[in-house]
Chain A
Amino acid sequence: MNNKDRYCGIILLGLGGWIAWESSHFPVLAGMPYGPGLFPTIAAFGLSICGALILLSSLVSTQSVAEIEKSPEKDNRGQRATLNTFGVILAVIFYAMFLETAGFHLVSFLILCCLFILLQIRLVFSFVLATGVTVIIHLIFYSFLHVPLPWGILEPLAW
């Protein structure tokens, strides 16, 4: 156990408290002391108790984050990893926000290109791969499975 557990315990405690507070506003069954809020409240109490226990364990154990050795190489790899993580998360947010307006083909091509480049694939190869994968997914989902993928601004080209 270490400082990571300390934050984990606090987050679980907070999450449990929030679910319990929300659940307390749910109505109850007629003639019964409980209702739709009973189960979420049990889950909330469970989460809070687990959070408190994880926090307690981290307080009584020895290891701390300070003990983890650092090296410049690890720092560089860590920065790269953080950049890649945020890149992937931003790509998904972009995808969810623009899928229906800009269309599946454009958005898919764009996020694939960006992610390949972010992961240090050569530029030309990234374009070729992104185009190929977008076409394959179109064929599998749109042509074969008949999933209505949105065309967005490319609607005039839809078939």
Chain B
Amino acid sequence: MSADVFWAIFNLDNLTVIFVCTLYGTFVGAIPGLTATMAVALLVPFTFYMDPIPAISAIVATTTTAIFAGDISGTLLRIPGTPASAAYVDDAYSLSKRGQAKTSLFVSLTTASIGGVVGVAILMLMAPQLARVAISFSSYESFWLASLGLTCAVLTGQGTVPKSFASLFIGLAIASVGIDIAVGYPRFTYGVPDLLGGISFIPAMIGIFAFSEVLRTVQSNLDSSTASDLIKEKVSDASSRMIKALSRYRRTIARSSVLGTLIGALPGAGADIAAWIAYAVARRFSKEPDQFGKGNLEGVAAGGAANNAAIAGAWTPALVFGIPGDSVTAIAIGVLLLKGLTPGPRIFIDQPELINTLFGSFFLANIIMLPMGFLAITLSTYILRIPRTIMAPIILLFSLVGAYAISSSVVAIWIVLALGIVGYLMEQNEIPLAPAILGIVLGRIIEDNFMVSMIKAQGNLLMFFERQYSLVLGVITLLLWCFLLTRMVVEISSGRRQKKK
């Protein structure tokens, strides 16, 4: 690590940002219903005023801690703070009812930190190698790669195939607003000058994640619960149980960390899917599978390690190909683009210091998370007492002012409202959000590469398969489309069979 990179990571601004965002992430993640993605979406207006390195550090620190903090309300109230904690919530809550809430939280905190560090180590090893291959990509490969990313988002989306595809097309339709690149024709702008550059990314993310969350919060049962009786375990007892658990389940933690990183690297498959799969795999290999769901620390360790490792994994496709691995990296790509940085293989050659600083910040965030996490666990009963009736209007106002701050235009507020309602209706109808987000981020990239390729190929679609890598990527994408079509037919026919019964 060069001295420049070292000072970029350890300078006061960056350290302050990481410290503050670790606290912020812990606070938001611990409150049930507020997701890590929402925390990042609300943070984006602030990153607008930062240099690229602190901006990315802020996103990384917030995400890693918010995902861990989701375990706090899951353990104490059986309400996962973020969806990534849902896989092992029954184990964590059962442990807490047995008086071992701190043990469970200490295990999930340390495994989250281990998972995060393993994830960054894999990211550091894999990303530069992949970037070397990706540097030779033309518009054909870029088109197929982005299409593959969107297809993976549909494949791993937590909805039926038609609904996941519908989400994707909603995202692509939103991305097509604004001046087109081929002839500069304004599309769907209806005379509003603020829409000429397209739907502004920050208000869109704030609307889809923060505003829709506020709508859901004000509709839910707003009675606040307290968990003060559940966290009376002594710190010394919890620490010794944690150390025993870490030693006993070291293989599970290692396997879940690697698995989480690999799953996180798949576009659309975020920390929650990684946690579910790692939990299922841990149960499959466990000596006591029947104890899973009834308060098994192995399940907590597996899910806790995997969901944080997935956060680092998601950065691999984002940095190397400019294709986000999850909603958070989709937002991060948007932030980098706003700062004039285009993620992709060239960033490894043109700005290696940025990449190395990013890796360093990742490590640092995962390490600072340990003391912050211990603090959050100690203060958790107080955090959980803050009623959501107070949080919802405050989050709403932060969302509106944050969106307005980017362009000093009320159009941003209208975008928050419109896309917030769209996001809310999508979730109400079980249409997953991830493919739409990827569609919004990748829509322009796909269209640009598609139009450039079509003009180069003079409309000959076979040219999309002429180059070696484009052939491989194209065939994989088409095979996945065939698989998705088959899955869709099975889904519809199984619905019909149910009706006959």
The answer to whether B413 and A115 touch across the interface, beta carbons within 8 angstroms, is no
Q: Distance in Å from the Cβ of B456 to the closest Cβ of chain A?
A: 12
Q: Distance in Å from the Cβ of B417 to the closest Cβ of chain A?
A: 5
Q: Could you say which residues of chain B place their CB within 8 Å of the CB of A46?
A: 165-166, 168-169, 172
Chain B interfacial residues counted at CB < 8 A: 65
Checking B173, B408, B413 against A92 with a beta-carbon cut-off of 8 angstroms, the contacting residue is B413
Q: Could you say which residues of chain A place their CB within 8 Å of the CB of B160?
A: 54, 57
Q: Once bound together, how far apart are the Cα atoms of A47 and B398, in whole Å?
A: 33
The answer to whether A133 and B215 touch across the interface, beta carbons within 8 angstroms, is no
Chain A, Cβ-Cβ closest to B180: A36
Q: Could you say which residues of chain A place their CB within 8 Å of the CB of B398?
A: 137
Q: Distance in Å from the Cβ of A42 to the closest Cβ of chain B?
A: 7
The answer to whether B187 and A40 touch across the interface, beta carbons within 8 angstroms, is yes
With A88-B396, A147-B408 in contact, is A99–B187 under 8 Å at CB?
no
Q: Could you say which residues of chain A place their CB within 8 Å of the CB of B166?
A: 12, 46-47, 50-51, 54
The answer to whether B400 and A95 touch across the interface, beta carbons within 8 angstroms, is yes
Q: Could you say which residues of chain B place their CB within 8 Å of the CB of A50?
A: 162-163, 165-166, 169
Q: Could you say which residues of chain A place their CB within 8 Å of the CB of B414?
A: 96
Checking A33, A35, A95, A96 against B183 with a beta-carbon cut-off of 8 angstroms, the contacting residue is A35
The answer to whether B187 and A26 touch across the interface, beta carbons within 8 angstroms, is yes
The answer to whether B176 and A53 touch across the interface, beta carbons within 8 angstroms, is no
Q: Which of A44, A134, A141, A148 has the most CB of B within 10 A?
A: A141
Q: Could you say which residues of chain B place their CB within 8 Å of the CB of A154?
A: none
Chain B, Cβ-Cβ closest to A93: B417
Checking B165, B169, B214, B410 against A99 with a beta-carbon cut-off of 8 angstroms, the contacting residue is B410
- A106 adjacent to chain B (CB < 8 Å): no
The answer to whether A29 and B182 touch across the interface, beta carbons within 8 angstroms, is yes
The answer to whether B401 and A141 touch across the interface, beta carbons within 8 angstroms, is yes
Chain A interfacial residues counted at CB < 8 A: 70
The answer to whether A85 and B218 touch across the interface, beta carbons within 8 angstroms, is yes
Checking B187, B404, B495 against A1 with a beta-carbon cut-off of 8 angstroms, the contacting residue is B495
The answer to whether A108 and B183 touch across the interface, beta carbons within 8 angstroms, is no
- A121 adjacent to chain B (CB < 8 Å): yes
The answer to whether B389 and A121 touch across the interface, beta carbons within 8 angstroms, is yes
Q: Distance in Å from the Cβ of A117 to the closest Cβ of chain B?
A: 10
The answer to whether B214 and A77 touch across the interface, beta carbons within 8 angstroms, is no
The answer to whether A149 and B401 touch across the interface, beta carbons within 8 angstroms, is yes
With A88-B214, A92-B413, A147-B408 in contact, is A62–B498 under 8 Å at CB?
yes
Q: Could you say which residues of chain B place their CB within 8 Å of the CB of A102?
A: none
Q: Could you say which residues of chain B place their CB within 8 Å of the CB of A62?
A: 495, 498-499
The answer to whether A47 and B183 touch across the interface, beta carbons within 8 angstroms, is no
The answer to whether A57 and B495 touch across the interface, beta carbons within 8 angstroms, is yes
The answer to whether A57 and B162 touch across the interface, beta carbons within 8 angstroms, is yes
Q: Could you say which residues of chain A place their CB within 8 Å of the CB of B410?
A: 96-97, 99-100
- B416 adjacent to chain A (CB < 8 Å): yes
With A12-B166, A36-B187 in contact, is A108–B397 under 8 Å at CB?
yes
With A61-B498, A62-B498, A149-B401 in contact, is A39–B491 under 8 Å at CB?
no
- B367 adjacent to chain A (CB < 8 Å): no
Q: Could you say which residues of chain A place their CB within 8 Å of the CB of B401?
A: 104, 108, 137, 141, 147, 149
Checking A5, A12, A89, A145 against B417 with a beta-carbon cut-off of 8 angstroms, the contacting residue is A89
Q: Which of A1, A97, A99, A116 has the most CB of B within 10 A?
A: A1
The answer to whether B400 and A85 touch across the interface, beta carbons within 8 angstroms, is no
Q: Once bound together, how far apart are the Cα atoms of A24 and B390, in whole Å?
A: 48
With A8-B431, A27-B183, A47-B169 in contact, is A22–B492 under 8 Å at CB?
no
The answer to whether B492 and A57 touch across the interface, beta carbons within 8 angstroms, is yes
The answer to whether A60 and B389 touch across the interface, beta carbons within 8 angstroms, is no
The answer to whether B397 and A60 touch across the interface, beta carbons within 8 angstroms, is no
- B480 adjacent to chain A (CB < 8 Å): no
Q: Could you say which residues of chain B place their CB within 8 Å of the CB of A8?
A: 429, 431
The answer to whether B416 and A92 touch across the interface, beta carbons within 8 angstroms, is yes
The answer to whether A145 and B46 touch across the interface, beta carbons within 8 angstroms, is yes
Q: Distance in Å from the Cβ of A13 to the closest Cβ of chain B?
A: 10
Q: Could you say which residues of chain B place their CB within 8 Å of the CB of A97?
A: 410
Checking A38, A61, A147 against B499 with a beta-carbon cut-off of 8 angstroms, the contacting residue is A61
The answer to whether A96 and B417 touch across the interface, beta carbons within 8 angstroms, is yes
Given contacts A35-B185, A57-B162, A115-B392, 19 further A-B contacts (CB under 8 A): A4-B429, A15-B173, A27-B185, A39-B447, A40-B173, A40-B176, A40-B187, A46-B165, A53-B488, A54-B162, A62-B495, A77-B221, A81-B219, A88-B214, A95-B413, A111-B397, A112-B394, A119-B222, A145-B49
Interchain Cβ contacts under 8 Å between A and B, 29 examples: A8-B431, A19-B173, A22-B188, A27-B185, A29-B183, A34-B454, A37-B187, A38-B451, A39-B172, A39-B176, A39-B450, A50-B165, A50-B166, A54-B166, A61-B495, A88-B215, A92-B396, A95-B413, A96-B410, A96-B417, A99-B404, A99-B410, A108-B401, A112-B397, A116-B393, A119-B389, A137-B397, A148-B408, A149-B404
